[in-house]
Structure 1
Amino acid sequence: MAVTKAAPSKTQLVYDHIIERVVSGDYASGQPLHIGRLAEVTRVSLIPVREALRRLESDGVVIVEHHRGARVADLDSAAYHDVMQTQAVLEALAVSLAAPHMTAEDLAEARELNAQMDAAHAADDPHSYHEASLLFHGLLQSRCPNAYLRESLDRGQLRVAAARAAVVGYSTEIARRLSEEHLLLLDRIESGASAEEIEQLMRAHREGTLARHDTGQGLGSEGYAPPPSGS
């Protein structure tokens, strides 16, 4: 059943504006963020901009320094490694706790998001690919009954997004493997697999992402590289 969402606050509008541009790479690592300009382009006053920047600083996406202003956090490959290593453990636990609470509608939506990732990759659309990836993992975590764990994972996902522009994408072969791992995980959740098995599958999925990064095979919020020409 679709849920009608309330209109976002002005602070949320600014927050979303910045996050979208970090994920797309329009705002690069270390790039200054001018409060006045942000207020102008989002058509709000300075107060919501400052509040959004404080939230983003708490999430680890933005750094705010006195007398120097705000800038996108400097998240490099080493920072990505640290975040993904932590995410592998936390997300595996969260999904194992969430699995018994997932509905048939949740699983159908997750399959649709995975299909959207495949379509975005085939269309050479990295923004849509990363957006669907974040939504896919967010959906799997959303049924986790541990609110603190969910919040910790949300902050980590944003830090992964902030690091994306500074790192290398995945090959088509790896993107295909990730898609297959998603489907296997969904199949096992649907069949009622044990929490231990779900946790192992999710952790292997994330640690495989990290291992491919460590061996120079690419990385990203879930990994993206344009498909070969003519594919």
Structure 2
Amino acid sequence: MPSISTTPQRARGGSPSKRQRAYDYLRARIEGGEFEPEARLLPGEIALELGFSIVPVREAIQRLTAEGIVTLEHNVGARLAAFDSRAYREGMESLAMLDGLAASLAAAHIDETGLAHARSINDELTALLESFDSKQYSALNAKFHETINTFCPNQRVLDLARTEWARFANLRDARHLICVSRAQESVREHTHILELIIAGADAAEIEHASRQHVLATLRWNAPSLS
């Protein structure tokens, strides 16, 4: 299978290509939890929404399929990949490694605005604990991590981490695995990660804290996956 580049393809004049724009559009909707688990992706409808021909939409769906976020089924077409416990476990293990590395590399480059934004999102997560909504929590949690990781200077690491987050967003029929008790711990772990970054902690310590933060969710849900 040919490799799929995660680098945005630019049309003449520096604007993203229609294929890239269609991909970004679908990826954002998936990460935002707008699709139900195993929902069908209808290229014709998506093309109409974007005002594109169907070709760049199909190419975007092919890219999502190569990333494991979408599956193609005979006589059905494209749909979001189904949740299963093995995929969840493997995804979380991969995400822990990539997110930890991305955060540790980002720590030396994140600015005050980025830190303030991350703190603000974590405050929103804290407030959400009062009337817990797992879908909204998942979206905000991913946004918190992306706010930090976007400062990662290694584009390859950042692209891989984003791919795992997008795949995880789809696997979150995993949303039913998120509960208030774990969310409370998660918010505290976010605070600890931010404190390490602000204090200028060693990159290895930040990577460890970020990696263990993701793995803690996997350990918490282990009984439900057996």
TM class by shorter chain equals 0.7 to 0.9
Q: CA deviation at 1:211?
A: 0.3
Alignment partners' CA distance in 2, 1:74 and 1:139: 27
Percentage identity across aligned positions? 34
Between 1:208-217 and 1:24-33, the stretch displaced more is 24-33
CA 1:10–1:119: 2 relative to 1, 3 Å: farther
Q: CA deviation at 1:198?
A: 1.0
1:94 pairs, out of 99, 102, 117, with 102
Maintained 8 Å contact 1:64/1:70: yes
Aligned length: 212
Alignment partners' CA distance in 2, 1:13 and 1:131: 21
CA RMSD of aligned residues (A): 2.7
Alignment partners' CA distance in 2, 1:42 and 1:143: 29
Taking structure 2 as the reference length, the TM-score comes to 0.80
Deviation per residue, 1:32-52 (Å, 9 max, x gap): 322223334444331232132
Is 1:151 matched up with 2:164? no
Q: CA deviation at 1:10?
A: 5.1
Is 1:196 matched up with 2:217? no
Written as runs of structure 1 = structure 2, the 5 A alignment for 1:2-151 is 11=19, 14-15=22-23, 18-19=26-27, 22-23=30-31, 27-64=35-72, 68-151=76-159
Alignment partners' CA distance in 1, 2:115 and 2:95: 21
Alignment partners' CA distance in 2, 1:142 and 1:158: 14
Maintained 8 Å contact 2:135/2:175: no
Taking structure 1 as the reference length, the TM-score comes to 0.79
Alignment partners' CA distance in 2, 1:138 and 1:25: 15
CA 1:17–1:120: 2 relative to 1, 3 Å: farther
In the other structure, the counterpart of 2:221 is 213
Alignment partners' CA distance in 2, 1:95 and 1:20: 21
Q: CA deviation at 1:23?
A: 4.6
Deviation per residue, 1:196-231 (Å, 9 max, x gap): 2112211111111110111339xxxxxxxxxxxxxx
Deviation per residue, 1:5-46 (Å, 9 max, x gap): x99765456445544554565534433322223334444331
